[in-house]
Amino acid sequence: MVNLVENAKRIAVLFPGQGSQAVGMMNELAEQFDVVRQTFDEASEALGFDLWEVTQDESRLHKTEFTQPALLAASIAIWRIISPKLAEKGLEPLYLAGHSLGEYSALAASGVLSLGDAVVLVHERGKLMSQAVIGMDTQMAAVLGLEDEQVASLCEEASHNTGSVDPANFNSPGQVVVAGTQLGVSAVITAAQALGKKAVPLKVSVPSHCQLMDSASEALADLLAKTKFTIPAIPVIQNRHAKIHTSLDDIKTALAEQLSKPVQWAKTMDKLANAEIDLVIECGPGNVLSNLAKRQASSIAALPSDKLDRLEKIEAL
């Protein structure tokens, strides 16, 4: 049997979004690599509070305005560990991509955003998201086993009859996350179960990528307009249309729209497969994106990188 990892030549790096955080998520790597705490110190200075302490405090870590900069700093710290190792082996990534929040990590890794600007942006993004749904009962859920069009139809019917709900993440064939009001999401869950399929409520504090985020998206666009962006050093596939933008205005527009429109992750993975990528490295806590890659693109090997034993596999490439 061919070892996909050992034979990898064309690499992409993926950056995870919310849901990948865990208390103490960077402790093991921080003991071995000074760059981890250095990265968090740099981020903390920009934010005006100790971001490393956030990673040790469950109550703060799971609030979206803290989750987002903590995950971004963690991802960039790991990027700073692995990117020199890849370069030494002549394995420069051909593409970067990030799931939802992870798109900001990808842009920072590509040099579009400084780390300081990136963590400040996502901290404010988290606050805008929370403010957009103050006083609302909201929810997200993963619907499994239905076609994208079927899930979209269930959301449309529920929105018309019960409460606002939209497809939020097209994660892989047969896995679509929906987001909206609690009534709307519950109606979609019930309808999916009536079709003999599974729908799982998710533990999130804010419903991302749905029309409830329209006001947050508009406010975010104003923040993005005031932030310095630079042309990407490595192409970044953005969530909004699973496209690579080179115009700074287009990059910012896609980021703003992403907040209230669905993440096109399945199309992103299709794009990587069509580009004959043979290895994706998940650069951040957890292995959510590695598992999605294995489900969708069997020709692409996937390696997470958040533990020492996982880094050893990358070093062995």
In angstroms, the CA 229 to CA 232 distance is: 9
Three-class SS state of 297: coil
Checking if the pLDDT of 277 tops 70, the result is yes
Query: Is residue 241 annotated as part of the catalytic site, yes or no?
Result: no
Residue of 209, 217, 245, 260 marked active site: 209
Query: Is residue 209 annotated as part of the catalytic site, yes or no?
Result: yes
Min mean pLDDT across 165-169, 173-177, 293-297, 313-317 is at 293-297
In angstroms, the CA 193 to CA 156 distance is: 17
In angstroms, the CA 296 to CA 266 distance is: 8
Task: List beta partners, residue 202.
Answer: 140
State the architecture of 138-205 in CATH terms: 2-Layer Sandwich (3.30)
User: Radius of gyration over alpha carbons of the chain, in Å?
Assistant: 19
* pLDDT single digits (tens) 23-47: 999 999 999 999 999 999 999 999 9
Position of tokens 């990358």?
Answer: 314
Q: If we measure between CA atoms, which residue out of 169, 203, 215 comes closest to residue 16?
A: 169
In angstroms, the CA 125 to CA 219 distance is: 9
Section 120-135 average pLDDT: 97
In angstroms, the CA 303 to CA 273 distance is: 16
* pLDDT single digits (tens) 283-298: 999 999 999 998 887 7
Label residue 317 by pLDDT band (50, 70, 90). Answer: confident
Q: If we measure between CA atoms, which residue out of 3, 18, 16, 12 comes closest to residue 271?
A: 12
State the architecture of 11-132+212-315 in CATH terms: 3-Layer(aba) Sandwich (3.40)
165-172 and 198-202 strand pairing: unpaired
The answer to whether the Cα torsion of 77, 112, 102, 163 is positive or negative is: positive
Instruction: State residue 218 phi and psi, 5-degree precision.
Output: -65, -45
Which amino acid is it at 232?
A: P
Residue 281 DSSP one-character state: E
Q: Put the strands of the sheet holding 95-98 in their side by side order.
A: 243-244, 236-238, 95-98, 11-15, 279-282, 301-304
Residue of 44, 83, 100, 260 marked active site: 100
Label residue 7 by pLDDT band (50, 70, 90). Answer: low
Q: CB-based contacts of 61: which residues, under 8 Å, 6+ apart? A: 21, 23, 54, 55, 67, 70
- Residues 105 and 76: beta-carbon distance below 8 Å: yes
Q: CB-based contacts of 165: which residues, under 8 Å, 6+ apart? A: 155, 158, 159, 178, 179, 180, 181, 184, 185, 187, 188, 210
Domain edges within the chain:
11-132+212-315, 138-205
* pLDDT single digits (tens) 230-264: 999 999 999 999 999 999 999 999 999 999 999 99
- Residues 12 and 277: beta-carbon distance below 8 Å: yes
Structure tokens given for 178: 């929906």
Structure tokens given for 15: 């950056």
